[in-house]
Amino acid sequence: MHTSSPANPLTGVRNLGILAHVDAGKTTVTERILYLTGTIHKRGEVHDGTTVTDFDSQERDRGITIFAAAVSCAWDGHRINLIDTPGHVDFSDEVERSLRVLDGAIAVFDAVAGVEPQSESVWRQCDRHGVPRIAFVNKMDRAGADLDAAVESIRERLHPAPLVVQLPIGAEDGFTGVVDLLRMRALVWPDGHGTCEEGPVPDALREEARRRRRLLEEAVAELHPGALEEFCAESAVSTATLATALRELTLAGEGVVVLCGSAYRNRGVEPLLDAAVAYLPSPVDVPPVRGIRGDAVEERAADPGGPFAALVFKVTSTATGRLTYLRVYSGTIGKGEVVWDVGARRTERIGRILRVRADRHAEVDRAVAGDIVAVIGPKAARAGATLCAPSAPLLLEPPTVADPVVSVAVEARGRTDADRLATALARLVEEDPSLAVRTDPETGQTVVSGMGELHLEVAVEKLRRAHGLDVAVGRPRVAYRETVARGVSGLLYRHVKQDGGAGQFAHVVLDVEPLGAVDTGGGAVDFGFRSTVVGGRVPQEYVRAVEAGCRDALAEGPLGGHPVTGVRVTLTDGATHSKDSSEMAFRTAGRLALREALRACAMVLLEPVVEVTATVPDDAVGGVLGDLAARRGRVSGTAARAGTAVITAAVPLAELFGYATRLRGRTQGRGTFTTRPAGHAPAPAPASR
């Protein structure tokens, strides 16, 4: 391991995420990084359930990453804080919260499959957060592995400029190493145990290496003015200029450095670490964090000497207590200090500060700007909360949370376990904000909602394993919506109530019409409200009360009590009473008037639709297409890929329950599929399921 040390301590920190589609090799890459950096002394394997970051029993049983796990290690004198993120779409909210606090990312791609659906989703998430990244094409030892095809899929589907800095030595089972195109050297791992040997480029690859080095120089010169100037003057770009240009292009998001290897075979991970240190940003390379202080926007630079500000991105409950994971953006925090939770408006004391390695921790005395640590002490801080110095409050933007779309009814089998179930569910929601718990007002059932069937399976299993509860689970139910197909105009509603003392009087006239923009998949209820009342017939404060009442009415539609979306309400007239009118009266009138108007409108039930991407053997395509059609799926495309077919279809979420088992049966266990939300569409009949 290298031992150089940067001059500014903050420039020696890298906060990185490992991102990819499920089963592309993220966890194995993380495991090899921990081994090479000396953090662990024995390599774990996903299939053996011995990896550091997949420490939860469910992760080991299922062989996938479910919870984002933070680890810390050192390489080349740099402190690297890594977050191994889930690759399954049901846990994309974990990825979202992680990306909010990361400075850079390593995107892992399968050398056979190239860009897969969830790879594309996490890439778009990085784009939204402005996170620079490098790419690692993994599994170069697999049959059918093709670096050029994987790079082309990156270019076509993700639209960055891929800058390939390596040439593989050997193919498939014969893959033994790479040619470093910057320094024109061969890096070989002949024994398969992670021992890297450096040497000259093999004679058979010398011409190809020169050609690819030339292509790299030309690609960089097209994007970087300094490299272009040198290329024009010298007809070549020096190694130093190339390295500088690659870093600057990566930080600007104008290019993505592409490396390759086989993490499972311990080949290519050292150059990946070197590239992460060389090209990805430190906390001082990213823009200052912005927050709200009072009514003004304020920036805080990554300065250990500045006022303390940190964002909570994860909360977990362990046998040793409640762990609150922080990204420190500015300032320094020590054990025993008091911080201010801006959102909850309360103080919290930091009892202990821990350097994290998945489920193991090392206590430290303090954390400074740029650190990702866990703390013990805060009692109420939730994911998305801002902790800061009491003397310099600053509210940081929290990560966005998508609305859940699938629900199950949960109840404790034992009568005495009802209170324990409520406590356990509250703890689950605290740890995972993408879960929601509510009591159905009609049935009295406790309903747990999440991002997908697997998400809910994991949550219920956690109730059983971690909390020792015997729970009964009902069939998952999806989150339907209702919308207006044909509106009404001039609906008059008069609210009059007199039961002693001051009465209530409110008179409103409403027009209700389709908004024209139904839920787009982000989960927000689309609602428009405006007032055309003239002459002061309804004072402005009462107009706001009418709008609030209308929003109350949107919670339950007339078809099945589902939330209403895509509605525009216009207050066209009204009247007040000098004594009996009040904001409460007009809010009540707005709520009851819109309910009555919706019953008079032509309503349509909307159901959530997901985009399904199924990868199946060629000989099973017909059966899979037939099954999708039986599930009311609309196929939008098929593509052939190395003996398999990739089928894309829009399918109602309600029809997907049990699909994983059916797909395995139709493909002899060889088919896989992923889903991602695609908004809502009209359901065939207005009936609750």
Q: Give the residue numbers of the binding site for GTP.
A: 20-27, 84-88, 138-141
Contact 313, 100 (CB under 8 A): yes
d(CA 533, CA 569) in angstroms, rounded, equals 13
Q: How many CB atoms lie within 10 A of CB 466?
A: 17
Single-letter code of the amino acid located at 520: T
Contact 205, 179 (CB under 8 A): yes
Which residues, in sequence order, are CB contacts of 445 under 8 Å at separation 6+? 409, 410, 411, 439, 474
d(CA 361, CA 72) in angstroms, rounded, equals 10
d(CA 357, CA 55) in angstroms, rounded, equals 10
Question: Can you list the alpha helix ranges (DSSP code H) found in 354-432?
Answer: 418-431
Sheet holding 296-300, edge to edge: 296-300, 289-293, 395-396
The H or E element spanning position 339 is strand 338-341
Ramachandran class of 674: left when φ > 0, alpha when ψ lies in -120 to 50, beta otherwise:
beta
CB-neighbour burial class of residue 344 (10 A; exposed 0-12, middle 13-18, buried 19+): middle
Single-letter code of the amino acid located at 481: R
Which residues, in sequence order, are CB contacts of 86 under 8 Å at separation 6+? 22, 64, 65, 66, 67, 68, 92, 94, 95
Residue with tokens 């801002």: 386
> Residues within the annotated binding site?
20-27, 84-88, 138-141
d(CA 462, CA 59) in angstroms, rounded, equals 11
d(CA 538, CA 547) in angstroms, rounded, equals 12
Give me the helix-helix angle, 583-600 and 540-553, nearest 10°. 50
Ramachandran class of 360: left when φ > 0, alpha when ψ lies in -120 to 50, beta otherwise:
beta
Q: What angle do CA 30, 466, 17 make, to 5 degrees?
A: 20
- Kind of pairing, strands 289-293 and 166-169? unpaired
d(CA 105, CA 99) in angstroms, rounded, equals 8
d(CA 457, CA 466) in angstroms, rounded, equals 14
Contact 399, 383 (CB under 8 A): yes
